[in-house]
Amino acid sequence: MHNFRELEVWKKAMALTTTYYSVSRDFPKEEVFGLTSQSRRSLISIASNIAEGAGRETDKQFVQFLSIALASSFEFETQLIVANNLDYISKECFENIFSDLRYIQNMLIKLINKLKQ
């Protein structure tokens, strides 16, 4: 088992989630049950799956949950692009969030590869 609170990737995912929750408050009201809800759920799934996987008994199980977290990150990336295309967020905000997301994705890939060795 791993202590998820000590994992840098979990900390980064939590920070991005907090940032995005603030940003998405300004999305149009008609998106409350659409893009706002869906994007928030996919984003929070990243940190949640890291934490759940860290609590598993084996590294193989942990890798499975890290892979789910990575998949959720790509789901969120798609939703972030949609939000940008619809001008729900500024270009600067999009670029900052996208950069943070890419960093998290790379961290997940590296951790998965390390645990598979």
Distance from C-alpha of 47 to C-alpha of 95, rounded to nearest angstrom? 21
Structure confidence by residue, pLDDT tens digits, 11-45: 999 999 999 999 999 999 999 999 999 999 999 99
Cβ(111)–Cβ(66) under 8 Å? yes
Q: Count how many domains the chain has.
A: 1
Cβ(104)–Cβ(12) under 8 Å? yes
Structure confidence by residue, pLDDT tens digits, 80-116: 999 999 999 999 999 999 999 999 999 999 999 999 9
Length of the chain: 117
Q: What are phi and psi of 27, to 5 degrees?
A: -65, 155
- pLDDT at residue 74 tops 90: yes
Amino acid 1: pLDDT? 83
Q: Where are the beta strands (DSSP E) in 3-117?
A: none
Average pLDDT over residues 59-79: 98
Domain limits at 8? 4-116
Sorted by sequence, the CB contacts under 8 Å of residue 82 that are 6+ apart come out as 35
Using alpha carbons only, how large is the chain's radius of gyration in Å? 15
**CATH number for the domain that contains residue 81:** 1.20.1440.60
Average pLDDT over residues 43-65: 97
